[in-house]
Amino acid sequence: MVIKVNESYWQKTAQKQVYPKINQNKKCDVVIIGGGLTGISLAYRLKDCGLKVIVLEEKEIGSQTSGHTTAKITFLHDLIYTYLNEYYSYHIAKKFFLSNKEAMNDIETIIEKEKIACDYYKNENVLYTFKKENVIKLKQEKELLESFGVKVKENVIKNALYSISIDNQAIFHPLKYLYALASLCRKDGIEIYENSQVKKVHRMKEEFLIDVNSYQVQCSDVVHATRYPFVYKGLYFMKVMAKREYVQYGICENQDRRSLLCVDKKSISQRPVGNGLLEIGKNEVKNPIRWFAMDSETLRLIPYIGKLSKKRNEYIAFGYRKWGMSLSHVASKIIYDDLLEKENKYKALYENHYCSLSLIKKQLPLFMKDIKKGMIDNHFPPSKKLKNNEGAVMKIDGELIAVYKDNHGKCHYMSPYCPHFKCIVQFNNKTKTWDCPCHGSTYDAYGKLINGPSLKNLNNK
Ligand code: FES
């Protein structure tokens, strides 16, 4: 039996078709790198437009960020409208709202049109706080939402200091949805390849040549639909923070059918799933299935969606701040429209150059904290005696080594330098993984890559 690392409830409960590994050179119009919700929903939108499209997924489709999400389909993204209004403008906040609302409608339309059985369920979405300072912010959020025409209820949670809620938001099974879209794409001639890792994108005069496994794909347009673009162009590794959350699902007495999110510093979130509950930062379920979720957050708070450079048809889409259900569909619509040379009224909002300097100034210390950890602090590991099934970076004969002691007491030695940008990884006892603090690459206890942006395993010693 193959034991899957970090397998989520969604992965355990959806039937997936197998897609082949790329096994020859190819030529097409559009290459989509990444088979998550952005990539697959873009492929779905493109399937009838006459372009030859290839999707290249490093592992299995939906196996990364999309397969580990809490899967709330909502435009209620914690306090986003308050922040956008404060650091940008009311106009920007409203545009962000409208783009996400339209994306939610797109998801519903696709589910209805294709009759996708993905446990889609409309529910109430709640934000709440126990802190005085956040009451003011939540009240601002309410006012902004009401000015956009949304009906907002107040004080819907008994014990909270303040709470607001909105009806007609939704939840679903993200992988039942994603797998259904992928099989519709395949039926209509889109080629999807799994276990096909893109190693490099060569920018030629008129086209792109993409190295994938040991083959090449030639195309005129390329879309990076990964949690974090692995290309260095655009210096995104200096504009994005990696975010990790510990999620669990289990059966629970609590029969609340609403989705709940506490906006206080430590994120606490819940949503129903069938007879059970999926939760972050809570401990109400019995015999939980646990996993961790990764996402990226841009310093400017608005995701980067659009062309990497004005001259070329090379697109990026990432930085969803854990709100990837609606934002993946915002992204796929913007890129779809651009590829087909259609107007899109939200394109300018998500473009690459757009930023608020005061916001970046506020976010920068958080970003620098992670970088400092990986580049400086982790160079000086405390001495540690390892127990079985534990790891640590150690100084051995003057050299830094990542050591994992397995369940039988055998030590495995690896280089602690993350192949992405040479930050020093650290052992995470909760997940038994090596995590890179700089941009979130994750490796299993033996150094095998689980999540990028790194493209390689840790080197053995
Ligand atoms: Fe970037 Fe490790 S240095 S993920």
Average pLDDT over residues 394-411: 92
Question: With the C-alpha atoms ordered 113, 176, 166, 344, is the resulting torsion angle positive or negative?
Answer: negative
Are the beta carbons of 46 and 190 closer than 8 angstroms? yes
Q: CA-to-CA distance for 373 and 368, rounded, in angstroms?
A: 8
Classify 381 as helix, strand or coil.
coil
Q: How far is the CA of 313 from the centre of ligand 1 (A)?
A: 27
Average pLDDT over residues 277-305: 91
* Chain CA centroid to CA 210, Å: 23
Ligand 1 atom with the smallest distance to the CA of 440 is 4
Q: How far is the CA of 120 from the centre of ligand 1 (A)?
A: 36
Q: CA-to-CA distance for 382 and 396, rounded, in angstroms?
A: 12
Tell me the pLDDT tens digit for each residue of 107-140.
999 999 999 999 999 999 999 999 999 999 999 9
Q: How far is the CA of 342 from the centre of ligand 1 (A)?
A: 37
Q: CA-to-CA distance for 32 and 340, rounded, in angstroms?
A: 15
Average pLDDT over residues 159-178: 97
- The reported pLDDT for the residue numbered 130 is 93
Q: How far is the CA of 444 from the centre of ligand 1 (A)?
A: 15
Ligand 1 atom with the smallest distance to the CA of 453 is 4
Ligand 1 atom with the smallest distance to the CA of 439 is 4
- Average pLDDT score, the chain: 93
Average pLDDT over residues 266-287: 89
Question: With the C-alpha atoms ordered 408, 411, 417, 420, is the resulting torsion angle positive or negative?
Answer: negative
Sequence length of the chain is 461
Average pLDDT over residues 343-372: 88
Are the beta carbons of 230 and 441 closer than 8 angstroms? no
Using 50, 70 and 90 to split pLDDT, how confident is the model at 197? very high
Pick the range with the lowest mean pLDDT from 198-202, 230-234, 444-448. Answer: 230-234
Q: CA-to-CA distance for 325 and 100, rounded, in angstroms?
A: 9
Q: In testing the pocket of ligand 1, which one of 420, 456, 459 has its CB within 8 Å of the most ligand atoms? A: 420
- The reported pLDDT for the residue numbered 5 is 78
Tell me the pLDDT tens digit for each residue of 210-225.
999 999 999 999 999 9
Ligand 1 atom with the smallest distance to the CA of 237 is 1
- 306 - beta bridge partners? 316
Average pLDDT over residues 307-319: 88
Q: How far is the CA of 237 from the centre of ligand 1 (A)?
A: 9
The residue whose CA has the least distance to atom 3 of ligand 1 is 421
Tell me the pLDDT tens digit for each residue of 50-64.
999 999 999 999 999
Q: How far is the CA of 365 from the centre of ligand 1 (A)?
A: 18
Tell me the pLDDT tens digit for each residue of 434-445.
999 999 899 999
Burial code of 19-41, b = ≥16 C-beta within 10 A, e = fewer? Answer: beebeeebebbbbbbbbbbbbbb
Q: How far is the CA of 174 from the centre of ligand 1 (A)?
A: 28
Ligand 1 atom with the smallest distance to the CA of 242 is 4
Q: CA-to-CA distance for 278 and 271, rounded, in angstroms?
A: 5
Average pLDDT over residues 272-291: 91
Using 50, 70 and 90 to split pLDDT, how confident is the model at 146? very high
Instruction: Quote the pTM value.
Output: 0.94
- The reported pLDDT for the residue numbered 383 is 83
Q: In testing the pocket of ligand 1, which one of 232, 434, 441, 455 has its CB within 8 Å of the most ligand atoms? A: 441
The residue whose CA has the least distance to atom 4 of ligand 1 is 439
Q: Which is it for strands 240-251 and 215-224: parallel, antiparallel or unpaired?
A: unpaired
Q: How far is the CA of 397 from the centre of ligand 1 (A)?
A: 25
Phi and psi of 246, rounded to 5°? -105, 120
Tell me the pLDDT tens digit for each residue of 86-107.
999 999 999 999 999 999 999 9
Using 50, 70 and 90 to split pLDDT, how confident is the model at 308? confident
Ligand 1 atom with the smallest distance to the CA of 418 is 2
- The reported pLDDT for the residue numbered 1 is 47
446 pLDDT above the threshold of 80: yes
Average pLDDT over residues 302-325: 91
- The reported pLDDT for the residue numbered 3 is 55
325 pLDDT above the threshold of 90: yes
Average pLDDT over residues 20-33: 97
Using 50, 70 and 90 to split pLDDT, how confident is the model at 253? confident
Q: In testing the pocket of ligand 1, which one of 423, 442, 458 has its CB within 8 Å of the most ligand atoms? A: 423
Residues in the ligand 1 pocket, defined by CB under 6 Å = 418, 420-421, 423, 436, 438-441, 453-454
Using 50, 70 and 90 to split pLDDT, how confident is the model at 239? confident
DSSP secondary-structure letter at 460?
A: B
Tell me the pLDDT tens digit for each residue of 326-345.
999 999 999 999 999 999 99
Q: CA-to-CA distance for 394 and 381, rounded, in angstroms?
A: 6
- Single-letter residue type at 185: C
